[in-house]
Chain A
Amino acid sequence: MTADASTKAPELDVPTAAPVFAHASEAEMARILDFYAVRWEYEPRTFPILWNLDGAVVESFSPDFYLPELDLYLEMTTLKQRLVRKKNRKLRRLRGLYPDIRIKLFYARDFRAIMLKYGRLALADSLSGTLGQVPSERLQADAPLPLPITPPAPVVRPATGEPRRRRPRTAQEAYVDR
């Protein structure tokens, strides 16, 4: 084989239809995953994590990304570290109820660190501490920065099977952490 400068990456099969993102950090992460040819789905699944005594779901958790080839969910937050307690609690509950689910919480410090690595620290700093979910300011993955505000659009959710979950065993457990 001979040296082949600037060979285009093979085996790339990245999403073509960009979903709308709730936060610019998610759009940036989608671009990074696309860059490295890692398949992803955006908020493909919602996990109920709390039910009332009637069995109705009162709290749920939709991880930002699912990486099917890695069987890994990825949740991102740009909130400052001291403000992520609620998200950590939801994550603990998710892990308790769905022990087979692999999920990683990507904190603001993690996002900042990879942005530093990629020379995009200014972007990370501009997003740090902002709210993680801003439905009225949904952002597109392929839009140039600064990302424009786009009208809300339905998120494509692939028809996937209901995840296996463990229902609360007692009413007390159902109300825990409320």
Chain B
Amino acid sequence: MRTPTDLMADIGEVLLDEDRIQARIRELGAQISADYAGRRITLVSVLKGSLPFMADLMRSITLPLRIDLMEVSSYGGATTESSGLVRILKDLSTSIEGEEVLICEDIIDTGLTLNYLIRYLKGKRPTSLRICTLLDKPARRLVEIPVDYTGFTIPDQFVVGYGLDYDELYRNLRFVGVLKPEVYAAPE
């Protein structure tokens, strides 16, 4: 595996800088606070990519809220080879039955993972189940999913940073950037 010595050097373009991300998250937080006024919500973060987003979003929401974390295996990952089926690697730690649930995603592209998660979480009988994503990449959507809150609609580029990774790296960047193609085309 290639380990970059300078993460910034692998970024071809900063798509969303930190200020822009934080400003939009504050807007989303205000909107969510207004929409759910008088109610308690449960934010569900889909690990690992949405962790920074949820950490900032929850602090922009003025309502009482709970948080929980989920992680599902990704196609092609080390955990997929045995069964060939998606697996819940980390389930919710508390019941969401009767709760107002807001799923926090880092990015939606094909919608396959989220489609699965929605089906899974609906089985836990929440009062409501809504979607909030920082990034939406509709160009490659396979499963049409109604997204209730969208931070940014982005073009069809491979992005990293602010939780998004390539080969588990770049998550700690404070912005969203486009990875240089030569990074993922580099020989092993």
Give chain B's interface residues, CB within 8 Å of chain A.
Answer: 74-77, 79-80, 83-95, 109-110, 112-113, 115-116, 119-120, 123-124, 139-140, 142-144, 156, 158, 167, 184-185
Contact = CB atoms under 8 A, between A and B. Distances in A.
Contact of B85 (A35, A118, A120): A35
B143 A38 contact: yes
A32 to B, nearest CB: 5
B184 A116 contact: yes
Contact of A119 (B87, B143, B167): B167
Given A10-B123, A110-B140, A35 B75 contact: yes
Most chain B Cβ neighbours within 10 Å, of A4, A14, A74, A121: A4
Contacts, number: 98
A36 B116 contact: yes
A12 interface: yes
Given A9-B88, A12-B85, A32 B158 contact: no
Interface of A: 1-12, 14, 31-38, 67, 70, 72, 74, 104, 109-110, 113-114, 116-121, 142
B91 A118 contact: no
15 contacts: A6-B79, A7-B91, A8-B83, A8-B85, A11-B120, A32-B75, A33-B112, A38-B115, A70-B142, A110-B139, A113-B109, A113-B156, A113-B158, A114-B140, A118-B75
- 9 closest A-B pairs (Cβ-Cβ)? A118-B76, A7-B88, A36-B112, A4-B91, A35-B75, A119-B76, A118-B75, A9-B86, A1-B95
Contacts of B79: 6
A120 B110 CA distance: 16
